[in-house]
Amino acid sequence: MNRKTIIACIAVLAGLAAIVAVAVFFLYSGAEETKSASLASESRTGLLSAVPSDAVMVVGFSDFRTACSLLTDTSGCFHYFTGGLESSALQRFLAKVQADGPLRSSRSVLSLHYNGSLVPLMAIDAGRAGAETDGWVRGFMAEADSAGLSVSLLDCSGLADVKTYLHRRNILLLSTSDVLTKSSARHIEKGISVLDSDGFADCAEASGGSENTVYFSCSEIGKFFTGIADRAVYRYADFLKKFSGWSCFSVVQSGQEHLRLDGTFFSDRGVEDFVNVFKGYSPVRSEVASVLPSYTIFFASLPLGDVSSYISSADAFADGAGRLGRIEADRSQLQKRSGISPVQWASTLGVKEVAAAFFKAGGDVEKVLLMKMGSNDMDTVFRDVDPSSGRDSSPKVCAYPYGGFAASVFGPFFSLPDESRFTYIDGWIVVGSEAAVSEYVAGRALEYPLSAYVSDAAIQPDFMTGDKYFVSYLSVAEGSGVLADIFNRSYSAALEKYSGGYSYVPLSFCISRDKSGGVSASAETFRVQVMKSKAPVFERDTVVTVSKGPFKVKNSGTGKMNLFYQQDNMYLCLKEVGGKGLWGVEFHSPICGNAGTIDYFANGKLQILFASGSKLYLIDRLGRYVSPFPVDLGKDILLGPGIYDFNGNRKYNVMILHKDNTIEMYNLQGRRPQQWKTITAKETIKGLPEAVKVAGSTYWVVRTSIQTLIYGFYGGEPLTVFEGDRMIRSDSSVVPAEGASVKVVCYDGKTHVIKLT
Position 711 confidence tier, pLDDT thresholds 50, 70, 90: very high
pLDDT higher than threshold 70 for residue 68: yes
Answer yes or no: is 592 within a domain.
yes
pLDDT digits (tens, 9 = 90+) for 659-682: 999 999 999 999 999 999 999 999
pLDDT at residue 117, as a whole number = 73
Instruction: List, in sequence order, every residue forming a beta bridge with 506; answer none if it has no partner.
Output: 475
pLDDT at residue 283, as a whole number = 94
Question: Is 18 or 693 the better-scoring residue by pLDDT?
Answer: 693
Question: What number of CA atoms fall less than 13 Å from residue 583's CA on the CB side?
Answer: 11
Residues 615 and 736 in one domain: no
Q: What value does the mean pLDDT take over residues 131-142? A: 82
Return d(Cα 374, Cα 287) in angstroms, integer.
13
Question: Among the three residues 486, 505, 526, which one is the final residue of a domain in this structure?
Answer: 526
Position 208 confidence tier, pLDDT thresholds 50, 70, 90: low
Q: How many domains does the chain have?
A: 4
Residues 559 and 704 in one domain: no
Answer yes or no: is 739 within a domain.
yes
Question: Is 28 or 505 the better-scoring residue by pLDDT?
Answer: 505
Cis peptide before 641 (omega within 30 of 0): yes
How deeply is 215 buried, as exposed, middle or buried, from its count of CB atoms within 10 A (0-12, 13-18, 19+)?
A: buried
% of the chain residues with pLDDT over 90: 51
Residues 591 and 504 in one domain: no
Residues 675 and 693 in one domain: no
The answer to whether residues 747 and 727 touch, using CB atoms and an 8 Å cutoff, is yes
Return d(Cα 595, Cα 619) in angstroms, integer.
11
% of the chain residues with pLDDT over 70: 83
pLDDT at residue 241, as a whole number = 64
Return d(Cα 683, Cα 747) in angstroms, integer.
17
Question: Among the three residues 197, 215, 246, which one is the final residue of a domain in this structure?
Answer: 197
Owning domain of residue 674: 535-682
pLDDT at residue 669, as a whole number = 97
pTM for this entry: 0.75
Where residue 29 falls (left for φ over 0; alpha for ψ -120 to 50; beta otherwise) is left
pLDDT higher than threshold 70 for residue 415: yes
pLDDT at residue 221, as a whole number = 64
Residues 347 and 485 in one domain: yes
Answer yes or no: is 413 within a domain.
yes
pLDDT higher than threshold 60 for residue 417: yes
Q: Which of 12-26, 184-198, 578-592 has the lowest mean pLDDT?
A: 12-26
Question: Among the three residues 630, 652, 682, which one is the final residue of a domain in this structure?
Answer: 682
pLDDT digits (tens, 9 = 90+) for 268-311: 666 677 888 888 899 999 999 999 999 998 899 999 989 999 99
Answer yes or no: is 678 within a domain.
yes
Determine phi and psi for 228, rounding to 5 degrees. Answer: -120, -15
| Cβ neighbours around 217 below 10 Å, total | 29
- Averaged pLDDT of the chain: 84
pLDDT digits (tens, 9 = 90+) for 606-615: 999 999 999 9
pLDDT higher than threshold 60 for residue 576: yes
